[in-house]
Structure 1
Amino acid sequence: MSEVKKIATRESYGNALVELGAEYPNLVVLDADLAAATKTGVFKKAYPDRHIDCGIAESNMMGIAAGLAATGKIPFASTFAMFAAGRAFEQVRNSICYPQLNVKIGATHAGISVGEDGATHQCNEDIALMRTLPGMVVISPADDIEAKAAVRAAMEHVGPVYLRFGRLAVPVINDNPDYKFEIGKGVVLREGKDLTIVATGLCVSESLAAAEMLAADGIQAKVINIHTIKPLDEDLIVAAAKETGKVVTVEEHSVIGGLGSAVCDALAAKAPTPVLKIGVNDVFGESGPATALIHKYGLDAEGIYKKIRNS
């Protein structure tokens, strides 16, 4: 059996920007002294006159992005999720979302898979923060193909978009000719009648593997990839909940305010259903190898499988 191809979605982000740069002369990329880590360095090399290094001043970078957007440019402000959503929250809120400016935020190194950088850099709260902002679109792609499609969709969307990318290489799962990315539309990756697993980002491939383990026990799990957390595909989730009667959400994010909360909000209003939320349980992360942390916090296939079986 051939080895599964793995690519970090932050790599996809940089490559997508280069491709789009050739099509859109008004695309500008901003970075906060992290071009090597966010992978926007490839855009800087291709289009040096359209890349601005703002230094270690993320809040200022968001203000610059807002100013560029006001002149008709389409800026992608790039930095770690902890700094984009956390440090610069007030500027994102007041300078970008309040005037509804056409700024895209490329937030890399999200979640505990940042690894050895530890709790201060492992942002498990960014989805919660960004989905509270009026008009903000929140996207968390599952693999390389989806990440590239998400960047293009963000470019074509008019208004603020928050794009969440990871540091760790993840399996490519959307390499099929029928794949289509659309903001606000989830993707059914596996059919099942006993429960529905709703996952996002890194956890999508792990949820598919967990579904295979459940199948060996005679449990058929429907798996839905929710790449857009806001706007949420409520129709798909409600239909799946009514079909299977049980829902599990899986995310590399706090169980408070993220995908799980968004799904619970929708189901509470439209189809009350038992929901098990799998994610980071109201704790900070810690320093360690990314795969070891994902295992420790129960976000790998084995952990997801065990939590579902024990629920």
Structure 2
Amino acid sequence: HQCNEDIALMRTIPGMVVICPADDVEARAAVKAAAEYEGPVYMRFGRLAVPVINDNPEYEFKIGKGVVLKEGSDLTIVATGLEVGHALEAAKLLAADGIDAEVINIHTIKPLDEELIVKSAKKTGRVVTVEEHSIIGGLGSAVCDSLSENAPVPVFKIGVRDVFGESGPAAELIHKYELDAEGIYKQIKSKWY
């Protein structure tokens, strides 16, 4: 259905906007924003049903502006697309262990909301990126590019690790590659806690 390299490829095209919505509310808003935008836009939609995250009256979609979904002080989890819901659930698991994770929804990978990510990284001192994409060239790489120049902190990238994609039931693949809440939680714990 979908490759694991598309975000990386699209990021390299000059002037290309790259959007990966977290839920249906955001997807509708992103399509409207893309239609009004002057220039090329690549939109990536996952195939799994995801929980609705952005169903609050204050929600406003802006190209290039991330959204803090949960404030935290111990680490920052930057997620995109269907991984945003899993990241929020992983933050709950971490909280049960006394780890206070900030969760940021980055629906626009290019242009990246560097100001928001740098501010959060300076506050928490470490960043985890989570994406249903290769860890090479996608959200994690975009975040690392920004932080290396603006706020060097340790970054741990969670995603597909330099392997070809495979076919199968989507939920099973998410679990296999440890991209569900439990997998994210376990990877963060084994890396830093």
TM-score band w.r.t. shorter chain:
over 0.9
Counterparts of residues 7-46 of structure 1 (less than 5 Å): none
TM-score (norm 1): 0.61
Alignment-mate amino acid for residue 187 of structure 2: K
Q: How far is the alpha carbon of 1:289 from its aligned partner?
A: 1.3
Distance 2:50 2:152 in 1: 33
| 1:211 correspondence with 2:91 | yes
Match 2:108 to one of 214, 219, 228: 228
| 1:252 correspondence with 2:132 | yes
Which residue number corresponds to residue 309 of structure 1?
Answer: 189
Please give the secondary structure, in 1, of the residue aligned with 2:50.
Answer: strand
Distance 1:287 1:185 in 2: 33
Which residue number corresponds to residue 278 of structure 1?
Answer: 158
Match 1:263 to one of 143, 158, 175: 143
Unaligned runs of 5+ in 1: 1-108, 111-122
Which residue number corresponds to residue 191 of structure 1?
Answer: 71
Alignment-mate amino acid for residue 289 of structure 1: P
Segments of 4+ moved more than 3 angstroms = none
- CA displacement 1:149-191 (0-9 Å, x = unmatched): 0000000100000010111111111111011100000000000
Alignment-mate amino acid for residue 211 of structure 1: A
Distance 1:229 1:175 in 2: 21
Which residue number corresponds to residue 136 of structure 1?
Answer: 16
Q: How far is the alpha carbon of 1:287 from its aligned partner?
A: 2.5
- CA displacement 1:71-122 (0-9 Å, x = unmatched): xxxxxxxxxxxxxxxxxxxxxxxxxxxxxxxxxxxxxx43xxxxxxxxxxxx
Unaligned runs of 5+ in 2: none
Distance 2:67 2:167 in 1: 33
Match 1:300 to one of 171, 180, 184: 180
Distance 2:115 2:109 in 1: 13
Please give the secondary structure, in 2, of the residue aligned with 1:248.
Answer: strand
Q: Aligned residues: percent identity?
A: 77
Please give the secondary structure, in 1, of the residue aligned with 2:99.
Answer: coil
Distance 2:117 2:173 in 1: 29
Alignment-mate amino acid for residue 186 of structure 2: K
- RCO greater where, 1 or 2, for CA within 8 Å and sep 6 or more? 2
Q: How far is the alpha carbon of 1:204 from its aligned partner?
A: 0.2
Distance 2:37 2:47 in 1: 25
Counterparts of residues 83-232 of structure 1 (less than 5 Å): 109-110=1-2, 123-232=3-112
Over the aligned positions, Cα root-mean-square deviation in angstroms equals 0.6
Distance 1:226 1:286 in 2: 25
**Greater Rg over alpha carbons, structure:** 1
Distance 1:193 1:132 in 2: 33
